[in-house]
Amino acid sequence: MDRLIGGLLRAGVILSAGVTLAGGFWHLAQTGTALPDYRIFHGEPAELRSVTGVLHGIAQGHSAALIQFGLLLLVATPVARVVLCVMAFAAERDRTYVAITLIVLAVLVASLSGLSL
């Protein structure tokens, strides 16, 4: 189980880094010659604040959306680890650890979705 979880975490981080790096190179190719204006802070565009907006932005060819998607993959990696742990504990029929891990998963999902418990 430890090797499987380690492999999942490693693959998630490598995939996330690759997607983010590809988005970064693409972004430099698209806007690398533009001069940045640091006098006024511009936050993230509204379309990059949701998963559907990010996926829509990638479909439209926005490089910033691909970078954001890489970061979403990085955040999803530990969540996938918790899901894998639930399945592993369930396969071992360890009800106590399944219950504890499901509570951890609920807290993760609630915090990522903006809910308060």
| pLDDT single digits (tens) 21-55 | 999 999 999 887 888 778 888 888 888 888 889 99
CB within 8 A of 69, min separation 6: which ones?
19, 23, 54, 55, 58
Residue 86 has pLDDT above 90, yes or no: yes
pTM: 0.81
Two tokens, residue 84 = 């894998």
| pLDDT, position 13 | 96
Helix (H, G, I), strand (E, B) or coil at 78: helix
Domain count within the chain: 1
The confidence band for 8, taking pLDDT boundaries of 50, 70 and 90, is very high
Q: How far apart are CA 70 and CA 54, in angstroms?
A: 10
Domain that holds residue 36: 2-113
1 touches 90 (CB < 8 A): no
| pLDDT, position 117 | 57
